[in-house]
Amino acid sequence: MDLNGKSVLVTGGTGSFGKKFVETVLLKFPGIKRLVVFSRDELKQFEMGQLFPQRPGGQMRYFIGDVRDAERLKKACEGTDVIIHAAALKQVPAAEYNPMEAIKTNILGAENVINAALANGVKHVVALSTDKAAAPINLYGATKLCSDKLFVAANNIRGNRDIKFSVVRYGNVLGSRGSVVPFFLAKRKDGVLPITHVEMTRFNISLEEGVNMVLHALERHWGGEIFVPKIPSYKITDVAEAVGPDCRKDIVGIRPGEKIHEEMITEADSFFTVDLGKYYAILPQVPFWSKEEYYKATNCKEVEPGFKYNSGTNTDWLTVSELRKLIRKHVDPSFDLE
């Protein structure tokens, strides 16, 4: 989608994704009309404003607000064409310990985004999800599954409005705040890396790939799809070896709410999943458009019944050497153990 001349709002815009999204969009679409960062933390907005300055009549806008605050969100969305919903409470242990806080932000906040979009004539909404929303065993994943369902179902209540709601679901972002690579890099100086479980695996995606996936969804979505990327997996033991080959690896046990392997498409999802080439898409069980026309326009193929997309059974794996190259590229340019 050409975002030149458009107004775009990003909830949670000061996070890792939001900053990369803003950077990418300003480069690709210099004629964008307005790019609004909507988030809670004034310090993070101040710091982001040093990188992407706000000027009178310029493209950048910074709105202090919380997705829990429906009225503030509606005000921020006035005149908006596109909403990217990236705001979430995403730390698994924190959500387990503070369940209602996660529910208020991840579920009720999602509903507020939907209502703000419907009230303001927004044309496109893409919400960010997580692999933990597939067959969730922790509260964070459960809240994001609820959020996914809300955004898919929002297409039912659009009436005659020209608006589409869709979701993108992907795995761990290499180098994002709170993720394993920065954690291991910090722990390396102690000479000990804590391993939760020797068999643990995760999907891996870069921030750039995540941003490109959102832009792909904006360009191609019909409304109601959950887009899933085809990305590699890694073993947690290989990440530890990549970061600290000389460190002692202590097995500390999995944290509450963690899985050994993550899923992005479950066996039950297979009956509604299509292969789009670079991505999969889980289609709405009751489509809002002609399924035949969708298949013809996208040239997609149905996956086999019983198909599932699991980080442990993935056919694409990152090696220790490849992980080191990715760490240098996306996390720490000075990192070098080769």
What is the pLDDT, as a whole number, of residue 18? 96
Of 16-30, 125-139, 168-182, 286-300, the least confident: 168-182
What is the pLDDT, as a whole number, of residue 164? 98
Distance CA 242, CA 239 (A): 5
Q: Which one of 93-97, 233-237, 330-334 scores highest in mean pLDDT?
A: 233-237
The tokens for 55 are: 């000027």
Average pLDDT score over the chain: 94
Number of structural domains in the chain: 1
What is the pLDDT, as a whole number, of residue 337? 67
What is the pLDDT, as a whole number, of residue 336? 75
Is residue 132 among the annotated active site residues? yes
For 57-91, what is each residue's pLDDT tens digit? Answer: 789 999 999 999 999 999 999 999 999 999 999 98
H-helix or E-strand spanning residue 64? strand 60-64
CATH of residue 47:
3.40.50.720
Averaged pLDDT, 133-158:
96
User: Is 242 among the domain residues?
Assistant: no
The DSSP annotation for 78-142 comes to TT-SEEEE------HHHHHHSHHHHHIIIIIHHHHHHHHHHHTT--EEEEE--GGGSS--SHHHH
User: Is 121 among the domain residues?
Assistant: yes
Distance CA 114, CA 154 (A): 7
The one catalytic residue in 6, 132, 144, 259 is 132
17 in Cβ contact with 128 (< 8 Å): yes
Enter the pTM of the model. 0.94
What residues make up the domain containing 94? 7-171+204-230+263-309
Averaged pLDDT, 294-301:
96
User: Is 240 among the domain residues?
Assistant: no
User: Is 180 among the domain residues?
Assistant: no
Asked if the model's pLDDT at residue 338 lies above 70, the reply is no
In DSSP terms, which residues pair with 208 in a beta bridge? Answer: none
